[in-house]
Chains A and B, each alone.
Chain A
Amino acid sequence: MADSVPPSMDEPLFSQSDQLSMMDEGVSPSMGTFAQPEQAQYEEPRLKLRGISKYFGAVRALSTVDFEVFAGEVVGLVGDNGAGKSTLIKTIAGVYHADEGEIFMDGQPVHISSPVAATRLGIETVYQDLALCDNLDVVANLYLGREKRIFPWVAPVLQETEMERRTLEVLSTLDVKIPSVRVPVASLSGGQRQSVAVAKTILRNARVVLLDEPTAALGVAQTRQVLNLIHRLREQGLAVVVISHNLHDVFEVVDRVIVLRLGRRVGSYLIKSTTPEQVIAAITGAQFGETAATNGFSAEA
Chain B
Amino acid sequence: MSNILENEPAQPTGSAVAHMSDASSMSAAAVQVQRLTFVQRLRGDLGFLPVLLTLLVIGAYFQVTSPDHIFLNPRNLSNIVLEIATIGTLALGVVPVLLLGEIDLSLASVSTFCASVMAVLAERKGVPAGLALVAGILSGTVVGLINGFFIAVLRVPSFIVTLAGFIAYAGLVLKVLEPNTTLIVRSQFINGLAGNYLPDTLGIGLPTAALVLYVGSLLLNYFTRRQAGLRTVTIIQLLVQIVIAVAVVEGAVSLFESYQGVPESGAILIGLILIMWLMLTKTGFGRHIYAVGGNAEAARRTGINVTGVRLTVFALSSTLAAIGGILATSRETAVASQIPSTLLLDAIAAAVIGGVSLFGGRGSAWAVILGALIIGSLENGLALLGGSQATQEIVEGSVLLFAVTVDAFVRRANTRSGR
Which residues in A have some Cβ–Cβ distance to B below 8 Å? 115-116, 119, 129-136, 140, 144-147, 149, 155-158, 160-162, 164-165, 168, 171-172, 177-184, 186-187, 189-192, 219-222, 224-225
Q: Is the CB of A220 within 8 A of B12?
A: yes
- Given contact pairs A131-B298, A147-B287, A161-B230, A179 touches B22 in the complex (Cβ within 8 A): no
Query: Known contacts being A116-B303, A161-B224, A219-B25, is A134 close to B419, with CB within 8 Å?
Result: yes
B33 engages A187 (CB within 8 Å): yes
Known: A131-B301, A156-B285, A161-B225. A220 touches B295 (CB 8 A): no
Known: A161-B228, A219-B25. A146 touches B362 (CB 8 A): no
Of residues A115, A119, A179, which shows the largest number of chain B Cβ atoms within 10 Å of its Cβ?
A: A179
A180 to chain B, nearest CB (A): 7
Residues on A with C-beta less than 8 A from B225 are: 161, 164
| Nearest B residue to A178, CB-CB | B4
Cα(A189)–Cα(B22), bound, Å: 12
B8 part of interface (Cβ distance < 8 Å): yes
Further 10 A-B residue pairs, CB within 8 A, beyond A145-B302, A147-B284, A221-B11:
A116-B303, A131-B295, A131-B302, A132-B295, A144-B302, A144-B304, A155-B283, A157-B283, A181-B4, A222-B8
**Which 10 pairs of residues, A with B, have the shortest CB-CB distance?**
A145-B302, A179-B33, A133-B294, A135-B361, A220-B12, A135-B294, A131-B298, A220-B14, A186-B419, A221-B10
Contacts of A224 in B (CB 8 A): 10-13
CB within 8 Å of A: which B1-37 residues: 1, 3-14, 18-19, 22-23, 25-26, 29, 33-34, 36
* A157 to B225 CA separation, bound complex (whole angstroms): 16
Q: In whole angstroms, how far apart are the Cα atoms of A182 and B281 in the complex?
A: 14
Pairs A–B under 8 Å by Cβ, sample size 20? A129-B297, A130-B298, A131-B295, A133-B298, A135-B293, A135-B294, A135-B295, A135-B362, A140-B291, A144-B299, A145-B303, A146-B302, A156-B284, A171-B4, A177-B9, A182-B231, A189-B418, A219-B22, A220-B18, A220-B19
A115 to B362, CA, bound (A): 29
**Nearest CB in chain B to that of A187: its residue:** B419
Q: What separation, in Å, do the CA atoms of A161 and B40 have in the docked complex?
A: 24
Contacts of B5 in A (CB 8 A): 179
- Complex Cα distance, B291 from A158, in Å, reads 15
Q: Which of B8, B25, B40 is packed against the most chain A CB atoms within 10 Å?
A: B8
B414 at the interface (CB under 8 A from A): yes
In the assembled complex, the CB of B211 is this many whole angstroms from the nearest CB of chain A, namely: 20
The yes or no answer to B179 lying at the interface (CB within 8 A) is no
- Interface size range on B against A: 35 or more
Cβ of B282 under 8 Å from chain A: yes
CA distance A183 to B224 in the complex (A): 20
- CB nearest to B19 among chain A residues: A220
A140: which of B229, B283, B287 is its contact (CB, 8 Å)? Answer: B287
Query: Chain B: which residue is nearest A197 at the CB level?
Result: B298
Contact A133 B295 (CB under 8 A): yes
Q: Is B290 an interface residue (CB 8 A)?
A: yes
A152 nearest CB across to chain B (Å): 9
> For A132, what are the chain B residues with a Cβ–Cβ distance below 8 Å?
295, 298
For the complex, give the distance between the alpha carbons of A180 and B1 in Å: 10
Which residues does chain B contribute within 8 Å of A220, judged by CB atoms? 12-14, 18-19, 22
Closest residue of B by beta carbon distance from A175: B3
Roughly how many angstroms separate A228 CA and B138 CA in the complex, as a whole number?
56
Interface on chain B toward A: helix, strand, loop, or mixed SS?
helix
A225 to B6: give the CA distance in the assembly, Å: 14
Q: Distance in Å from the Cβ of B17 to the closest Cβ of chain A?
A: 10
CB distance from B418 to the nearest CB of A (A): 8
Q: Are A183 and B33 in contact (CB under 8 A)?
A: yes
The answer to whether A133 touches B361 (Cβ under 8 A) is yes
| Residues on A with beta carbons closer than 8 Å to the beta carbon of B224 | 161
Interface centre among B18, B287, B290 (most CB of A within 10 A): B287
Task: Enumerate chain B residues within 8 angstroms of A136, measured Cβ to Cβ.
Answer: 287, 290-291, 294
Give which listed residue, B8, B34, B414, B419, contacts A191 with CB less than 8 A: B8
When chains A and B are docked, how far (Å) is the Cα of A102 from the Cα of B78?
Answer: 73
A156 and B290 CA atoms in complex are apart in Å by: 17
**Is there an interface contact between A135 and B290, defined as CB atoms closer than 8 Å?**
yes
Q: How far is the CB of A235 from chain B (nearest CB, A)?
A: 18
Q: Report the separation of the CA atoms of residues A168 and B282 in the bound assembly, to the nearest whole angstrom.
A: 20
Evaluate contact between B301 and A115: CB separation under 8 angstroms: yes
User: Which residues from B are CB-within-8-Å of A165?
Assistant: 228-230
Most buried by A among B4, B18, B25: B4
Contacts of A115 in B (CB 8 A): 301
Residues on A with beta carbons closer than 8 Å to the beta carbon of B229 = 165
- Least CB distance from A206 to B in Å reads 14
Question: Is B4 a contact of A156 with CB atoms below 8 Å?
Answer: no
Partner of B3, one of A149, A158, A177, A182: A177
Of B1, B12, B299, the residue contacting A133 (CB under 8 A) is B299
- Contact across chains for B14 and A189 when beta carbons are under 8 A apart: no
Residue numbers in B under 8 Å from A131 (CB-CB) = 295, 297-298, 301-302
